[in-house]
Structure 1
């Protein structure tokens, strides 16, 4: 029992028995070999006249005497714990020591110990199935079997006299002892797993509650919320978060001098931030707070790291009279790792959003030059035949570019703003091609509805330029905006000649030369839709002999009214 309690309370030993590796088996062989020698030295000596001697430690054993001990208990538990090869080697050590210790007599102990170590290990592995150890029933059966084999060897070489004396006590001692030893290991490991499960649940619960704050980065506001949450759901007396220089939040004991927004003052935290390695303190001196009345007496400080760079620290404290347990230490380490991951995700999302926004800006900039050259050519042509119309076209172009500059500053504009922009565009085109087309609006949503900037204008421009080739009249464009649950359905249709099937699958997915029926505008618009709303909003195109329809569905949002 002493052996079992000593071993299970050593984290090093628990790590060895949870997974069989060459390294763990070597260490287990060393440990159990030590104890099998101790078992030989602390047995009960039986003289040739069957007199029982119980010295504290047996220093020598005459060849005529025997010894009853717990060697089989150690060999059996080694086999069940570490497998047949470790059990066999421990049996070899135990048998050799017994022979040397007994004046090089009774060599059968070597054979019996090796055989028992191997057999019990093999049988134990077979009956345990997928478990770490066999069931209590099988442990008892195998322990009894091991002792019976040993008794058979003793009977063969020493006869019935010695067996009669030691059979019952050794059978009971080693069988019950082996069973209790394995049961202690199983119970302790089971309790540890339960503690780990509780700890994991606590970490996941805290993670779930703190995630919304860390997603926005590490600042005074997010740190304060996170520290309050940790303080509420744990038993720590104080919780703190820092960046590389300043305290971002400190909740609980010591918050009168560990002040948010001011520099980090404890030596321990400075060291963790500088080295990127966690530290554990068990006294005020180790914490290193310069404030004389600081009540904090023990602490664990873990670095918060993103891309292997320390960006701050998580600090948890106890006051006098409270010690930090292993479970609490592991809890803090788990939180620090998850918080670091959350911060990394938040930073990545922010960078992705900035890149998407930059790309959207770049795509928007490409739209206006595309229309600008066509408009200038139209005005130049009109100046030759009708100066007044050229003047009107120039004024409409001015209106168009004013709205372009205004709308181009935003990713989304209101329906009203987009319609004004489209009307300026269609008036310019109508001056160039009088009576060629009409635009019919079927709108079921308010003017405050938000759309991607230039969205409708691009659809209408595409129809005017490509749908009505060879037709000067009777060309109709229909713009439909309707509510579809929580989404806005946008549809722009024409009654043109349809799109060439050869380019249909590429439309909006890649730039297509103008000569083949489409340009860069649809491709840019499709990329903006995906960046803004996801792939579910990408363009859908329906085409045939009776015309083409461009469709997209985006979240329905209304612009906030100014106070």
Structure 2
């Protein structure tokens, strides 16, 4: 019995080695981890049926209670029997795949055992099929893949082997030979099959554990990348946001280059092949166009599949994923590799997860855009309004001057048209040149000073190099208007100074008056909310501050300083936006 026990350990060792090798196969791991369809069940039947056949061939022949053969078994004598691990493979197949797999595995292993002969052939064949059916039914009801289920699975393996011993005693003839055989093989076979079932289940649970850990790591990695790229994708698909996002993705993946496109242009490309994959150029690969057309992920493992227009392009593999917003493909995310073997399953799953997350971010960006457009519409409505008293006063002033000073009246009429034109332009644009805003200020001042020639003076000290730079419209004119309308008492001549200079890579604009100033209580509210007071509502200040925040984010700043009877100073800090850059800012605001 002890000798047979050690021989059986050798036999089960062969199956455990095969099981371990099988567990390293990606296809088998996927079958174990996922739901089983008909195709997967057929594969499991083939695998565990093969285990049963190998168990038959590697069994130890027993005749009249003696071990007579240790070689590969292809034929068993009439008075002989086999001690083997056949039940183990059948039981695991049934527990893992359910009734169909259990029955199929039992039939393969059982019928094969019948062909080998011996006086227990029929009994072993019946017990094997029975074990497949029973373990299949148990496997459908209970999940052996759960943690700590290995002992329960081992007990089922032990029970199935005990049942086989019982069937041998009931069916095999003569009974004396069957009884003597069971005395010899029962303990070794029950022990070894229980042990083998335990080890095999542990291997399967290890597969599941590794898959879960891998997915958890991939999920963590994808969420980390998504978190870092969120501020950029929230701005929509534009050159600046896509470049920043692409650089983050490149650092966090194994890709050699990252590209992001919209439906027509490459918006960003970082990494190798940057010499011909350039931002703001038309799409250069047929693969990208195909993904945009079909709206599905496409993988390429050769340069020919990528179909880059440059023949010696160093990119040899790619994973191109659609970026979608509201079920419409609005762009692509492309991970490029110099060597195809770098594009493994883990990298593909990570990229697919990123594609879904980025698509969600773009939908959020679209929702944010709608919110901004609504807010912008409100702001435009405010910008397009002209204070009726200002208009009537300007017309009355011009009308009175027509008789006394026609020349001046003509100039004021021109200034009134400039004022109106600036109002309309400001209502249509997110950013305008600083010089246009100054024209708006000067037109307003000309009309006001015609009415009150000695009430105040205005000095404009702007660095000429700033005049071509872009700022939001209605930034300075409302500040000057506020100062003129509310800052000065009747007895004191007012002074308003507008300054502009560059400092630390930013444009600084200030308007300062020597007026009444505001109280500390009111100062805390100005620019942060609208207020109700005899001097006004504070809407203009709130409007300016909100637009700076919406367009420039942390790159812009708006600050009010004031003391009672000491005047008020408003400081605006903006990035140095050139003509080309202004288009990107506008795109970022509107997409």
The TM-score with structure 1 as length reference comes to: 0.62
Correspondence for 1:66: 81
Correspondence for 2:160: 146
For 1:250 and 1:415, locate their aligned partners in 2 and report how far apart those are by CA, in whole Å.
Answer: 43
Please say if 1:206 is aligned against 2:221: no
Correspondence for 2:205: 186
User: Does the CA contact (< 8 Å) of 1:241 and 1:313 recur in 2?
Assistant: yes
User: Does the CA contact (< 8 Å) of 2:95 and 2:136 recur in 1?
Assistant: yes
Q: CA deviation at 1:346?
A: 0.5
Could you give the per-residue CA deviations for residues 241-288 of structure 1, whole angstroms, max 9, x where no partner exists? Answer: 122222221111111221112222223223222222222222222222
SS in 2 for 1:296: coil
For 2:162 and 2:197, locate their aligned partners in 1 and report how far apart those are by CA, in whole Å.
Answer: 14
For 1:322 and 1:20, locate their aligned partners in 2 and report how far apart those are by CA, in whole Å.
Answer: 28
Q: Specify which structure has the bigger relative contact order, considering alpha-carbon pairs within 8 angstroms and separated by 6 or more residues.
A: 2
**Cα distance, 1:279–1:126 mapped onto 2, change above 3 Å:** closer
Correspondence for 1:262: 281
Correspondence for 1:248: 267
User: Does the CA contact (< 8 Å) of 1:39 and 1:70 recur in 2?
Assistant: no
SS in 1 for 2:522: coil
Q: CA deviation at 1:222?
A: 1.0
Mapping of 1:4-403 within 5 angstroms? 4-5=19-20, 7-9=22-24, 13-18=28-33, 26-27=41-42, 30-31=45-46, 34-35=49-50, 38-39=53-54, 42-44=57-59, 46=61, 52-53=68-69, 56=72, 58=74, 64-83=79-98, 87=102, 90-91=105-106, 94-95=109-110, 98-99=113-114, 102=117, 107-109=122-124, 112-113=127-128, 116-117=131-132, 132=146, 134-156=148-170, 157=172, 158-167=177-186, 169-320=188-339, 322-358=341-377
Mapping of 1:371-450 within 5 angstroms? 444-446=521-523, 449-450=526-527
User: Does the CA contact (< 8 Å) of 2:32 and 2:208 recur in 1?
Assistant: no
Q: CA deviation at 1:296?
A: 1.8
Deviates more, 1:151-160 or 1:217-226: 151-160
SS in 2 for 1:304: strand
**Cα distance, 1:133–1:96 mapped onto 2, change above 3 Å:** farther
Deviates more, 1:30-39 or 1:195-204: 30-39
SS in 1 for 2:260: strand
The TM-score with structure 2 as length reference comes to: 0.59
User: Does the CA contact (< 8 Å) of 1:284 and 1:296 recur in 2?
Assistant: yes
- Cα RMSD for the two superposed structures: 5.0
Q: CA deviation at 1:226?
A: 0.9
Give 5+ residue unaligned stretches, structure 2: 1-15, 393-418, 428-472, 488-517, 543-548, 550-557, 561-569, 575-591
User: Does the CA contact (< 8 Å) of 2:49 and 2:106 recur in 1?
Assistant: no
User: Does the CA contact (< 8 Å) of 1:214 and 1:339 recur in 2?
Assistant: yes
User: Does the CA contact (< 8 Å) of 1:80 and 1:133 recur in 2?
Assistant: no
